[in-house]
Structure 1
Amino acid sequence: MRRPMRIMSIIPAAGISLCVSVAPVLPATVTYEAQPAPRVLVPQELLPRAGDPLDDYERRLRARIDADAADAQAWHALGTTLFHKGAEAEAREAWDRAHGLDDAFAPADVLADVHGVHRLHDRGDAAGARLRLATVEARRAADPYFQMMRGEQAMRAGAFAAAGEAYEKARALAPNFFMTSLNLGRYLEYAGRHDEARARYEQAARAAPDRAAPWDFLAAHQFRQGEVAAALDSLRAAEDADPDQPLAEVRLAEFSAETGDYVGARRWLRLALERAETGHAAIRVALGDAQLRLGLLEEARETLDAVLAEAPSAPILVARGYVDERAGDVAAAAERYRAAVRADPGNVVASNNLAMAMVRLDRNPEEALAHARHAFSVRPDNAAIYGTHAVALAHAGETAEAKPALRRAVRIAPDDPWVRYFLGALLATEEPEEARVHLEAVMILDPDFPRRDAVIRLLE
Structure 2
Amino acid sequence: LGYLSISSSGSSRPNSGADPKDRIVEAETYHLAVALASSSKLEQSNRLLERLRVKLPEVTAILVSLGLNQQKMGKHAEAAEHLRAALRSDPGNVEAHYNLAVSWLALNQVDKAINELRMVLGIEPYHSRASYLLGTVWMRGKDYVRARECFNHMLEIAPDDYAAHYHLGVLATIEEKWQEGKSHLLSALKTDPESPEACNALGSVYFGQGSLNEARDAFLKAIRFEPNFAWAHYNLGLVLQQQKENKEAARHFRLALLADGQFQKARDALDQLERSSK
CA gap 1:342/1:424 in 2 versus in 1, 3 angstroms: farther
Q: Deviations over 1:353-389 (max 9, x none)?
A: 11112222222x1221121112112123443334334
Contact 1:219–1:234 (CA<8 Å) still a contact in 2?
A: no
- Quick check: 2:92–2:123 contact (8 Å CA) kept in 1? no
2:49 corresponds to which of 217, 220, 231: 231
**How far 1:322 sits from its partner (Å)?**
0.8
In the alignment, does 2:169 pair up with 1:324?
no
Supply the distance in 2 between the matched residues of 1:444 and 1:213 (Cα, whole angstroms). 51
Q: What is the deviation of 1:421? A: 4.8
Aligned partners of 1:334, 1:456: CA distance in 2, in Å? 37
Does 1:355 pair with 2:151? Answer: no
How many residues get paired? 246
- 1:435 corresponds to: 249
Calculate percent identity across the aligned residue pairs. 20
Distance in 2 between residues matched to 1:295 and 1:249, nearest whole Å: 22
Cα distance in 2, alignment partners of residues 369 and 435 from structure 1: 25
SS in 2 for 1:312: coil
Give the Cα–Cα distance (whole angstroms) in 1 for the partners of residues 220 and 43 of structure 2: 45
The amino acid that maps onto 2:89 is R
Opposite residue 183 of structure 2, the aligned amino acid is: A
Is the 1:407–1:423 Cα contact (8 Å) retained in structure 2?
yes
Change (3 A) 1:447 1:380: same
After superposition, the Cα gap between the structure-2 partners of 1:255 and 1:401, relative to the gap in structure 1 and judged at 3 Å, is same
Alignment partner of 1:286 is 2:105? no
Contact 2:46 2:69 in 1 (8 A): no
Q: Please point out which of 204, 217, 225 is paired with 1:391.
A: 204
- Answer yes or no: is the 8 Å Cα contact 1:250–1:283 preserved in 2: yes
| Separation (CA, whole Å) in 2 of partners of 1:307 and 1:252 | 20
TM-score, length-scaled by structure 1: 0.44
User: What are the within-5 Å matches in structure 2 for residues 416-431 of structure 1?
Assistant: 416-417=230-231, 419-427=232-240, 428-431=242-245
Tell me the secondary structure at the aligned position of residue 23 of structure 2: coil
**Which amino acid is 1:339 matched to?**
H
Task: State the shift of 1:283 in Å.
Answer: 1.6
| Contact 1:215 1:238 (C-alpha < 8 Å) held by counterparts | no
More deviation, 327-336/281-290: 327-336
CA RMSD across the alignment = 4.0
Change (3 A) 1:398 1:338: farther
Rounded Cα–Cα distance in structure 1 between residues aligned with 2:263 and 2:61: 43
Distance 1:312 1:383 in 2: 31
**Map of 2:9 onto structure 1:** none
Q: 1:207 to 1:308 in 2, by over 3 A?
A: closer
Shift of 1:208: 7.0
Partner residue in 1 for 2:63: 249
Are the aligned partners of 2:46 and 2:66 in contact in 1 as well (CA < 8 Å)? no
Compared CA separation, residues 316 and 272, structure 1 to 2 (3 A): same
Mapping 1:120-131, distance limit 5 Å: none
Aligned runs of 1:159-170 on 2, under 5 Å? none
**Cα distance change of structure 1 residues 239 and 294 upon mapping to structure 2, 3 Å threshold:** closer
Matched residue, 2:121: 308
Relative contact order, higher structure (CA 8 A, sep 6+): 1
What amino acid sits opposite 1:234 in the alignment? L
* Cα displacement (A) at 1:415: 4.5
Within 5 Å, give how 1:358-369 maps onto structure 2. 358-363=172-177, 365-369=178-182
CA shift in 2, pair 1:265/1:456, >3 Å: farther
**8 Å CA contact 1:369, 1:396 repeated in 2:** no
Which entry has the higher C-alpha Rg, 1 or 2?
A: 1
Matched, 1:296 2:109: yes
Q: Distance in 2 between matches of 1:302 and 1:421?
A: 38
Give how far 1:310 is off.
3.5
Pairwise CA distance, 1:396? 4.9
Letter in 2 for 1:423: L
User: CA 1:437/1:325 → structure 2, altered by over 3 Å: closer, same or farther?
Assistant: farther
Q: Give the secondary-structure state (helix, strand or coil) at the position aligned to 1:322.
A: helix
CA distance in structure 2 between the partners assigned to 1:209 and 1:432 by the alignment: 72
In 1, Cα distance between the equivalents of 2:230 and 2:144?
18
Shift of 1:248: 1.6
1:271 counterpart = 2:85: yes
- Summarize deviations over 1:9-32 as a string: whole Å, max 9, x none: xxxxxxxxxxxxxxxxxxxxxxxx
> Compared with structure 1, are the counterparts of its residues 342 and 456 closer, same or farther at alpha carbon in structure 2 (3 Å cutoff)?
farther
In 2: Cα distance, 1:396 partner to 1:211 partner: 65
Aligned ranges for residues 15-94 of structure 1 at < 5 Å? none
The answer for the alignment partner of 2:17 in structure 1 is: none
1:447, distance to aligned residue in structure 2 (A):
4.5
Structure with greater proportional helix content: 2
Counterpart residue number, 1:214: 28
Per-residue CA deviations over 1:180-201 (Å, capped at 9, x if unaligned) read xxxxxxxxxxxxxxxxxxxxxx
Residue number among 145, 151, 163 corresponding to 1:337 in the alignment = 151
SS of the residue 2:237 aligns to: helix
